[in-house]
């Protein structure tokens, strides 16, 4: 076990961390662990300093990684109880000389959406995909209301929690996120390269709302097709939507994949789409 300890704390206050890695991402490694005080199961994310791409100054002038700042903002308007919202809860963080360590809520039982789909033969039934997508759209609207742009919504960054028997969506990995207005343009792309929206490929600009809608379309596509999505291939029409899907589902996907971001529906509009209602 490794022990994490802040200055002034006793060993009994610290987290104890088994060394089993449970996730590897572009920003860092995630290990399982538990909080010593109450045996709460947690996830511990180790982020090397060189992988902290953006920082943010809070109201007191304190410099934080954007990942920490975003998660604190998401928790500021809630009861701060772990699991009360779709975004995963930040329980604690440690700034060390060479890395940042985040102690995060770890829903149990749960798996990322990629693994969840694989265990079901590589694709989901349309009815189950609908349950997941509706929750995702609602979570994305919540982020938008808080002026937060995740930038990398994909199967691997979505947890499916199964404690109630029905799938419950949780959003993880805010390492590439930022604070933004819905239609503010961004000129540097952060995210998964094969999921780049067409506006970036054409004009090297993208904005939060239209990009998130594009990414939600990709998530639905990969839930329903036994193949990975690639934006460039889709634009070249070498990837096609399964014609066996319902009419409303196909229309939902086509709406999300509208090439012109100005014509692409907003999150609020896709939330009202007949397929989700």
Domain of 40, in residue numbers: 2-105
- Predicted confidence (pLDDT) at residue 76 exceeds the cutoff of 90: no
pLDDT, one tens digit per residue, over 138-196 is 999 999 999 999 999 999 999 999 887 789 999 999 999 999 987 799 999 999 999 99
152 classed as catalytic: yes
Residues 126 and 201 grouped into a single domain: yes
Contact criterion met (CB below 8 Å) for 30 and 14: no
Closest listed residue to residue 144, CA positions, set 29, 267, 50, 37: 267
Which residue ranges are tagged as binding site? 45, 105, 112
- Predicted confidence (pLDDT) at residue 15 exceeds the cutoff of 90: no
End of a domain among 73, 105, 137?
Answer: 105
Mean pLDDT on 49-71: 86
Residues 247 and 127 grouped into a single domain: yes
pLDDT, one tens digit per residue, over 228-257 is 999 999 999 888 999 999 999 999 999 999
End of a domain among 105, 132, 148?
Answer: 105
End-to-end CA distance of the chain: 48
Which residue ranges are tagged as binding site for ATP? 45, 105, 112
Residues 126 and 219 grouped into a single domain: yes
Residues 119 and 79 grouped into a single domain: no
Residues 124 and 83 grouped into a single domain: no
Mean pLDDT on 206-220: 98
Catalytic residue among 38, 152, 248, 251: 152
Secondary structure of 179-232 in HEC code, one letter for each residue: ECCCCCEECCCCCCHHHCCHHHHHHCCEEHHHHHHHHHHHHHHHHHCCCCCCHH
Helix (H/G/I), strand (E/B), else coil: 69: helix
pTM of the model: 0.90
- The CATH number linked to 227 is 1.10.510.10
Contact criterion met (CB below 8 Å) for 178 and 151: yes
Compute the mean pLDDT over every residue in the chain, rounded to the nearest whole number. 89
- Round to whole Å and give the CA distance between 9 and 3: 11
Domains in the chain: how many in total?
2
* pLDDT at residue number 77: 65
3-state helix, strand, coil in the chain (%, to 5): 35, 25, 40
- Round to whole Å and give the CA distance between 114 and 97: 34
């Amino acid at each position: 076990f490794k022990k994490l300890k802040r200055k002034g704390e006793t060993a009994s206050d610290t987290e104890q961390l088994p060394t089993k890695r449970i996730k590897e991402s572009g920003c860092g490694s995630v290990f399982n662990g538990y909080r010593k005080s109450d045996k709460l199961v947690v996830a511990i994310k180790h982020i090397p300093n060189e992988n902290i791409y953006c920082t943010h100054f809070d109201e007191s002038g304190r410099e934080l990684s954007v990942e920490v700042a975003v998660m604190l903002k998401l928790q500021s308007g809630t009861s701060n109880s772990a699991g009360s919202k779709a975004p995963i809860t930040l329980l604690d963080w440690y700034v060390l000389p060479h890395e940042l360590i985040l102690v995060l809520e770890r829903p149990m039982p749960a798996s990322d959406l990629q693994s969840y789909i694989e265990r079901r033969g590589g694709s989901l039934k349309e009815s189950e995909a609908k349950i997941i997508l509706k929750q995702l759209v609602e979570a994305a609207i919540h982020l938008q209301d808080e002026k937060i742009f995740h930038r990398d919504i994909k199967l691997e960054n979505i947890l499916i929690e199964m404690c109630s028997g029905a799938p419950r969506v949780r959003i993880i990995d805010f390492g590439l996120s930022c604070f933004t207005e819905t239609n503010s343009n961004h000129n540097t792309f952060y995210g998964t390269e094969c999921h780049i929206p067409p506006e970036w490929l054409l004009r090297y600009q993208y904005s939060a709302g239209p990009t998130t809608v594009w990414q939600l379309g990709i998530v639905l596509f990969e839930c329903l097709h036994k193949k990975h999505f690639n934006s460039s291939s889709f634009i070249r029409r070498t990837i096609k939507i399964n014609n066996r899907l319902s009419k409303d589902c196909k229309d939902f996907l086509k709406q999300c994949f509208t090439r012109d971001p100005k014509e692409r529906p907003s999150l609020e509009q896709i939330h009202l789409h007949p397929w989700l209602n």
